[in-house]
Amino acid sequence: MALLQIAEPGLSTAPHQHRLAVGIDLGTTNSLVATVRNGVSVVLNDARGHGLLPSVVRYHADGACTVGYPAQARAAEDPHNTLISVKRFMGRGLKDIPDLATMPWQFVDAPGMVQIKTVAGVKSPVEVSAEILKSLKARAEASLGGDLTGAVITVPAYFDDAQRQATKDAARLAGLNVLRLLNEPTAAAIAYGLDNASEGIYAVYDLGGGTFDISILKLTRGVFEVLATNGDSALGGDDFDRRVYCWILDQAKLHTLSDHDKSLLMARAREAKERLSDAPEADITAVLTTGEVIDLTLPEATFNEITASLVTKTLLPTRKALRDAGLAAGDVKGVVMVGGSTRIPRIQAAVGEFFGQTPLTNLDPDKVVALGAAIQANVLAGNKTGDDWLLLDVTPLSLGLETMGGLTEKVIPRNTTLPTARAQEFTTFKDGQTAMSIHVVQGERELVSDCRSLARFELRGIPPMVAGAARIRVTFQVDADGLLSVSARELGTGVEAAIAIKPSYGLTDDEITRMLRESYDHAEDDMTARNLAEARVDGQRLVEATEAALAENGASLLDPEERAAIELRIVTLKAALAGSELTAVKRATDALNHATGDFAARRMDASVKRALTGHRLDELEI
């Protein structure tokens, strides 16, 4: 419980201070960072002018690593230590990963999430992602000239709890304060300014390097809701390159090629594809190691012909997503194009035909997700005033419990608006039973074995009773980021036994601390100093917020004794802040937080009442 800073709608609590906030698109192939500057969302470039950061991390024997273009350039030389597309492994176990055999890395099975053996030690996908995020954070801080208040990080709409948790942990490891995890299609929609003024159904067609995702969004009164998502995790721009590559081999009657020639021709194929985005034909020339000269011209018509089946393949999941949403192509008001591959004219035409309208392509499809994330980060950091909207995201998948017979009991159905909480009561089935095992799962299927297991825990210390007499309430809570926590409590006798868990792939707070230590290469007292500094900031903020709240409604909402109790704890906290003892600061902060819980609730209550009684309801804007 804590004191709330309640601001009038549209007013930030500290209006004069511009907070540095960024949006990060942590992509499978490339990552980007963007920010709102002078009211316009822009992608931040590195020192060489690159906006994209290849999501590639190469580890060296001395424990250091390189990120981005330099790592990508050496991938062929050092494939085992150059980690590419780790996003696919976030929150995933060994058994979840198809085509392991074709990958050059040495995987290590670990509870919940795979790890990869490198010359610098065993690395988890969280650590690898954190390196990418650190690089983007450093770029942003250099470019903006200050520490970041926070970041919005995008995730695919279909990411489950473990994948979201892993993304958030990576950010924590990179030293980023996550303002919100945002669904990628929602971010793209925001970038196009599809907010309050644009009610209706929107489709977000995202064709990246290796994956295809389609999302159907509904926008009503500033509420963004993901109605349905679908896709193909093995379909992307790379497949178009491969078709062109095969066409080259066929035309030039080539059979066996050296590795060097293979990668040379793949690169030429990609270049040809890219040129065809704004030219009617593309020349392909190369000199092979054999001395043979390749000189071909690929007309757009031929390119369209050899890639036609790939284009059709994206329309199948699109149809399915529409049907899941209970909609027809004609119901869609706008189509947002995301991902570099949507530059292909034939794709734009096919999508246009399918939806009966020209898709939105005026923003760079590689950058649109990051641009949208930056706009939301700016709002969340409290910089934007006035017409800010509210994003009410939904649970992407149903959350439930295992019941007798391996069946799933859904507690929170998919598409429930966040944040949300649901409680369900269970009882014991044996006389004298003192413990109950609780298995939390995510997914739409009826059998537990078909769903993703999120966590198992035991509620112990149930007083012995006859079967069916105990009342165990299991509560699911999902926060605004879509992250779940579960608690269980025995209510029957008033004896309370509760356990709260944060289901994840088994990365505990201690492990995060260990990784932080390792990654910063800091001595123990540096960590303590950092913790103390953070605790002081929290404590100071609480003192200021409490004093402001007391000045505003202390007289009307508190009786003198309640007020005195709060003031006493302010004095204690101020004394602790003057010292340098971490535990004292934390204890005093907790005590003040605790003491102001009721006050905060009353203030919130008063604020809600004011919101509804300030004007008559029939005058409200609808």
Question: Would you please indicate which residues are annotated as catalytic (active-site) residues?
Answer: 25, 87, 184, 206
Using CB under 8 A, pick the residue from 545, 557, 558, 595 that binds other proteins: 545
Three-state DSSP class for residue 474? strand
* Binding of residue 433 to other proteins (CB under 8 A): no
Using CB under 8 A, pick the residue from 33, 298, 391, 399 that binds other proteins: 391
* Binding of residue 601 to other proteins (CB under 8 A): yes
Tokens for 109? 């099975």
Identify whether the C-beta of residue 572 lies closer than 8 Å to the C-beta of residue 546: no
* Binding of residue 423 to other proteins (CB under 8 A): no
Pairing label, strands 21-26, 150-155: parallel
* Binding of residue 368 to other proteins (CB under 8 A): no
Using CB under 8 A, pick the residue from 149, 167, 186, 229 that binds other proteins: 149
User: Which residues touch 220 (CB under 8 Å, ≥6 apart)?
Assistant: 199
Block residue for tokens 């189509």:
335
Using CB under 8 A, pick the residue from 180, 346, 384, 452 that binds other proteins: 180
* Binding of residue 484 to other proteins (CB under 8 A): no
* Binding of residue 381 to other proteins (CB under 8 A): yes
Using CB under 8 A, pick the residue from 75, 223, 501, 529 that binds other proteins: 223
Helix, strand, coil: what percent of the chain each, to 5?
A: 40, 25, 35
Distance from C-alpha of 92 to C-alpha of 106, rounded to nearest angstrom: 15
Tokens for 337? 């194009």
* Binding of residue 420 to other proteins (CB under 8 A): yes
Distance from C-alpha of 164 to C-alpha of 479, rounded to nearest angstrom: 12
* Binding of residue 541 to other proteins (CB under 8 A): yes
* Binding of residue 598 to other proteins (CB under 8 A): no
Three-state DSSP class for residue 209? coil
Rounded least distance, CB 478 to other proteins, Å? 9
**Interface positions, 442-481, toward other proteins (CB under 8 A):** 477, 479-480
Identify whether the C-beta of residue 46 lies closer than 8 Å to the C-beta of residue 411: no
* Binding of residue 412 to other proteins (CB under 8 A): no
Using CB under 8 A, pick the residue from 279, 467, 564, 611 that binds other proteins: 611
Distance from C-alpha of 581 to C-alpha of 577, rounded to nearest angstrom: 8
* Binding of residue 418 to other proteins (CB under 8 A): yes
Distance from C-alpha of 354 to C-alpha of 371, rounded to nearest angstrom: 27
DSSP state of 19: P
Nearer to other proteins, 304 or 420 (CB): 420
* Binding of residue 229 to other proteins (CB under 8 A): no
Rounded least distance, CB 283 to other proteins, Å? 44
Nearer to other proteins, 43 or 379 (CB): 379
Identify whether the C-beta of residue 392 lies closer than 8 Å to the C-beta of residue 418: yes
Using CB under 8 A, pick the residue from 198, 403, 417, 449 that binds other proteins: 417
Nearer to other proteins, 101 or 622 (CB): 622
Would you give the end-to-end CA distance of the chain in angstroms? 34
Sheet holding 115-118, edge to edge: 106-108, 115-118, 121-123
Distance from C-alpha of 283 to C-alpha of 273, rounded to nearest angstrom: 10
Closest CA to 363 of 372, 374, 355, 353: 372
* Binding of residue 399 to other proteins (CB under 8 A): no
Using CB under 8 A, pick the residue from 62, 77, 510, 618 that binds other proteins: 618
- Which residues bind to other proteins, rule: CB under 8 A? 1-7, 9, 12-13, 19, 149-150, 179-180, 221-223, 323, 379-382, 390-392, 416-421, 477, 479-480, 538, 541-542, 545, 593, 597, 600-601, 604, 607-608, 611-613, 617-618, 620-622
